[in-house]
Amino acid sequence: MDKIQNFLFKNQAFLYKLFLFVFTLSLMVYFFPKGKQFKYEIIKNKSWQYKALYAPFDFAVLKSDKEIEEEENQIKSNYIPVYNYNQELAQEKINSSVEAFNSFSEDSLSIDYQVALNDFIKEQTQAVYLFGVRNEKRKPYANEIIYLKKENLIQEVSFEQIQPIEKALDEIESNFRATNLETDVSYIISFFEDFLKANVSYNKSENKTLLDQEISRISPSKGLVKQGELIIDQGQIIDTEKYQLLVSLKEKYSLINHSEANQIIVNLGQIILLAMAVLMLLLFIKQYRFSIYDNNKQLTFILFNVLVIFFLNLLVLKLNPNYIYLVPICILPITLKAFFDARLGLFTHVITVLILGFIVPNSYEYMFLQIIAGIVTILSVPELYKRANLFISVGQITLVYLVSYVAFTMIQEGSIFEINQLNLLLFVLSGIGLLFVQPLIYSYEKIFGLVSDLSLLELSDTNNKLLKELSDKAPGTLHHSLNVANLAEASANEIGANSLLVRVGALYHDIGKMYDAFYFTENQTTAVNPHNDLPPKESAKIIIGHRMKGIEMAKKNKIPDRIIDFIRTHHGTTSVYYFYKKQQKLTPNEVSIEDFQYPGPKPFSKETAILMMSDSVEAASKSIKEPTASVIENFVDKIIDKQIEEKQFVNANITFREIESVKKVLKQKLKNIYHLRVEYPD
């Protein structure tokens, strides 16, 4: 039992990575679409590169989306709408018309005249309600026909025969003027205005249901291919007809129920391919980004993002495959670049797209568009913390999507007018979705404890709490840190390192000096030096201790680990040489260099290496009494060459050429600080 516990304890990091790999793979395999994959790539208007293909079984030839859409449009254009006729209301109006008119009329009329007038009222009411009265005021189309539904009877009538109330009143007025009745016509019209009610209505939901029923009866197929028939020969161009045959075969192929043994083999193949894809990602991270591989939290974050994109695409495919381009997949490389670097972001994006290529329709087109968009994403988002950059980048990514898709359509359809307008809209919406990457990054920072350029920008503000405290307690140290930040930032820009990260690291690298600030030269404002009253070992302990105190203070103030790394490494394993030599004079036989040496670790990135060089050069430059160009150049070379000799940069991915570039920048910056000019000959 103890052996098992010891084994688990010693290998817990590896076991977690193994669990992470198996968990990610299991989720993908479980939700991966089941069934055999069609083994041919179908690209319209390209030649068939495979051998002659014969139908392996009988299958129906599916209609294209365009053909089905044309049939739907034809049904819609030929559809005769149904209007409901309220028979009860019509009969009630006809039966009560005379009684209502007599109640409305207050004049005493002769019996004969009253009878004639009543007959006119009833006759007009019957005429109006013969086909009914409608509320719709629109004009009928030419020869427009509708179905008039009277209870269980449906009658085909001209829409013009169903009058709006205004037209019915006009006809009644015209008919009344043609009679010999002498009553004021406005009196009659006034009655009918109050009396007539619309009894014909258009039921939108009912008509939609009827129309949908007709559309649902459209046959999805238009023919049958028998087993053994030649579908396409090698070298033939995949024209519209051949394309539809191949698509129909692919669709039928996915619906075939395979045997259990076959399904096991299919699942095994899926496991192998997905395992290879995820394994390649992990091996890349281990080989080229070991610090990330070694950090389980960061590794979990990367695989989590891959799974999020994977499941978003699966969800859209399940709901409607036509909306696959709606998923803003380029959020993945933007996010990873914000927290790590462009190379990792692009590699992860490509692996994710390759995985999705197994399940999306038109996989070649999809993978090409998404990989190109991913490359543009990496190239076009230089500084995410600048809001304008994000909008510009989104515009560029969307434009690349649109141009690439139009080019594919031109190749496949041979026409620029056959472009799927829906996909163009989806690309635009996907671009808009990328704008939500900033709140997403903020959420990730809080959940996973990571740091992005947005957080770095906040930390670089010298008005924040910790830097203001440093300014109050150790103003000289803050001034030194600002000078180091400027030198380090310029050096990072020269060799393509993360300039914002190294600047923030420089601002915080000496925050531990605010404890015992007076023991550090830059904070001593008088000629009194407290180290004169201390043994060299004690002085060295105070100087070396600022590193650990800085780490503790940074953690207490929730400074991100990427910044704390600069505090840990900015002295590497160098020694406090001044006090070592001082102790050596006092006790030459009892001195040990380890007592005067920083515990490390050594810098392990370009940024931390740059800070070490900039910090050493800036601090030591204060000792130059008569600075000249040659003195400064020799001075910088001496300090950095000594660090190289002590192997301070062996763990950092920085080359000798890049170190020489950093030297060049530091020399130039120091010359500018000391306002040196060209030395003219006498």
Q: How are strands ordered across the β-sheet holding 133-134?
A: 153-158, 145-150, 82-85, 200-202, 133-134, 163-164
Say whether both 474 and 432 belong to one domain: no
Return all residues near 110 (Cβ < 8 A) that are at least 6 apart. Answer: none
Say whether both 525 and 599 belong to one domain: yes
Q: What is the pLDDT of residue 528?
A: 79
Residue 11 in any domain: the answer is no
Residue 227 in any domain: the answer is no
Say whether both 431 and 518 belong to one domain: no
Q: What is the pLDDT of residue 109?
A: 58
Q: What is the pLDDT of residue 382?
A: 60
Say whether both 489 and 608 belong to one domain: yes
Report how far residue 101's alpha carbon sits from residue 109's, in angstroms, rounded to the nearest whole number: 13
CATH code of the domain containing 651 = 1.10.3210
Domain holding 210, by residue range, is 76-214
Residue 69 in any domain: the answer is no
As beta bridge partners, residue 47 has 237
Say whether both 345 and 477 belong to one domain: no
Report how far residue 329's alpha carbon sits from residue 325's, in angstroms, rounded to the nearest whole number: 9
Lowest mean pLDDT among 103-107, 503-507, 602-606: 103-107
For residue range 119-165, list pLDDT tens digits in order: 888 999 999 999 899 888 778 777 889 899 988 888 899 988 898 98
> Residue 436: pLDDT band by 50, 70, 90 thresholds?
confident
> Residue 660: pLDDT band by 50, 70, 90 thresholds?
very high
Q: What is the pLDDT of residue 680?
A: 45
Tell the residue number behind the tokens 């399904």, with chain if given: 263
> Do the Cβ atoms of 517 and 523 come closer than 8 Å?
yes
Percent above pLDDT 90 for the chain: 31
Say whether both 441 and 478 belong to one domain: no
For residue range 207-252, list pLDDT tens digits in order: 999 899 999 888 888 888 888 888 888 888 888 888 888 888 887 7
Say whether both 202 and 297 belong to one domain: no
Say whether both 327 and 269 belong to one domain: yes
Domain count, the chain: 3
Residue 601 in any domain: the answer is yes
Q: What is the pLDDT of residue 553?
A: 93
Say whether both 572 and 642 belong to one domain: yes
Q: What is the pLDDT of residue 262?
A: 67
For residue range 627-648, list pLDDT tens digits in order: 788 888 898 999 999 999 999 9
Residue 123 in any domain: the answer is yes
Residue 12 in any domain: the answer is no
Q: What is the pLDDT of residue 509?
A: 93
Say whether both 416 and 289 belong to one domain: yes
Q: What is the pLDDT of residue 682?
A: 47
How much helix, strand and coil, in percent to the nearest 5, is found in the chain? 65, 5, 30
242 or 255, higher pLDDT: 242
Q: What is the pLDDT of residue 313?
A: 92
Residue 622 in any domain: the answer is yes
Single residue among 393, 425, 448 that ends a domain in this structure: 448
> Residue 483: pLDDT band by 50, 70, 90 thresholds?
very high
Say whether both 444 and 502 belong to one domain: no
432 or 361, higher pLDDT: 432
Q: What is the pLDDT of residue 36?
A: 59
Say whether both 304 and 360 belong to one domain: yes
For residue range 391-411, list pLDDT tens digits in order: 888 888 899 999 988 888 887
Report how far residue 521's alpha carbon sits from residue 489's, in angstroms, rounded to the nearest whole number: 24
Across all residues in the chain, what is the average pLDDT? 85
Residue 401 in any domain: the answer is yes
Q: What is the pLDDT of residue 225?
A: 85
Residue 599 scores a pLDDT above 70? yes
> Residue 455: pLDDT band by 50, 70, 90 thresholds?
confident
